[in-house]
């Protein structure tokens, strides 16, 4: 028997592609693959896979409802410790950490039960000093005030009035880039 298809195993609800099985000898091997709870499998023409790879298979399955990028949130501290591609509806972290879908988190962000929070500091472009330090929702962080830049995740020793870690040359470069993008 010839190989004419590959098996696409995807998360049933999100349509996020989980894996592609390429048979060795015949299409009959596809039916022997494990399909877990919350997963579905579909046969995809082998030539489609060979021509377009994973992207073509995902298109065949359908557009996923989200990117698959998830923050791994420490179960004790609620701090983002890692990022993975997964569907939390069918994936449980082996160490019991939370897996929360989000495209903009970075390691060190904090989960408050509803939103991800990040430390931000405003730095004056004139004095190169911290003018404000706050914890803000990363999806709705307030923009910096005129004449300042907003720095994400400043160092732990950052305090208002202290000269920032940014060198004067970096502050000037940032200032110039901001000016160029405005004009």
**What pLDDT, on a 0 to 100 scale, did the predictor assign at position 180?**
42
Torsion angle defined by CA atoms of residues 172, 178, 174 and 125, in that order, rounded to the nearest 10 degrees: 60
User: Are residue 51 and residue 102 in the same domain, yes or no?
Assistant: no
* Domain end marker among 44, 61, 78: 61
User: Are residue 104 and residue 127 in the same domain, yes or no?
Assistant: no
Q: What is the overall mean pLDDT for the chain?
A: 86
Is 171's pLDDT higher than 60? no
**What pLDDT, on a 0 to 100 scale, did the predictor assign at position 13?**
96
Task: Print the domain residue range for 11.
Answer: 5-61
Strands 17-21 and 39-45: unpaired
pLDDT digits (tens, 9 = 90+) for 72-86: 999 999 999 999 999
User: Are residue 35 and residue 73 in the same domain, yes or no?
Assistant: no
pLDDT digits (tens, 9 = 90+) for 35-57: 999 999 999 999 999 999 999 99
User: Are residue 148 and residue 124 in the same domain, yes or no?
Assistant: yes
pTM of the prediction?
Answer: 0.75
Task: Flag the least confident range among 87-96, 133-142, 143-152, 154-163.
Answer: 154-163
User: Are residue 49 and residue 75 in the same domain, yes or no?
Assistant: no
User: Are residue 87 and residue 46 in the same domain, yes or no?
Assistant: no
User: Are residue 125 and residue 178 in the same domain, yes or no?
Assistant: yes
* Domain end marker among 61, 79, 94: 61
The number of folded domains in the chain is 3
Cross-strand partners of 10: 17, 40
User: Are residue 106 and residue 123 in the same domain, yes or no?
Assistant: no
The mean pLDDT value for 85-89 works out to 95
User: Are residue 20 and residue 55 in the same domain, yes or no?
Assistant: yes
Question: Are the C-beta atoms of 88 and 99 separated by less than 8 Å?
Answer: yes
**What pLDDT, on a 0 to 100 scale, did the predictor assign at position 165?**
60
The mean pLDDT value for 2-29 works out to 96
User: Are residue 85 and residue 127 in the same domain, yes or no?
Assistant: no
**What pLDDT, on a 0 to 100 scale, did the predictor assign at position 183?**
35
Distance CA 66, CA 41 (A): 19
More confidently predicted of 115 and 1: 115
């Amino acid at each position: 028997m010839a190989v004419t298809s590959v098996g696409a195993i995807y998360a049933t609800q999100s349509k996020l592609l989980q894996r592609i099985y390429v048979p060795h000898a015949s299409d009959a091997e596809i039916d022997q693959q494990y399909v877990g709870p919350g997963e579905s499998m579909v046969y995809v023409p082998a030539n489609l896979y060979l021509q377009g790879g994973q992207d073509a298979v995902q298109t065949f399955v359908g557009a996923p409802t989200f990117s698959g990028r998830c923050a791994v949130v420490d179960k004790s501290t609620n701090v983002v410790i890692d990022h993975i591609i997964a569907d939390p509806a069918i994936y449980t972290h082996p160490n019991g950490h939370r897996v929360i879908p989000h495209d903009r988190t970075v390691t060190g962000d904090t989960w408050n039960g509803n939103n991800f929070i990040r430390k931000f500091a405003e730095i004056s472009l004139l004095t190169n000093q911290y003018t404000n330090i706050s914890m803000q929702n990363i999806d709705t962080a307030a923009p910096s005030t005129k004449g300042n830049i907003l720095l994400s995740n400043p160092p732990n020793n950052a305090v208002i009035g202290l000269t920032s870690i940014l060198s004067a040359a970096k502050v000037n470069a940032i200032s110039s880039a901001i000016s160029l993008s405005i004009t």
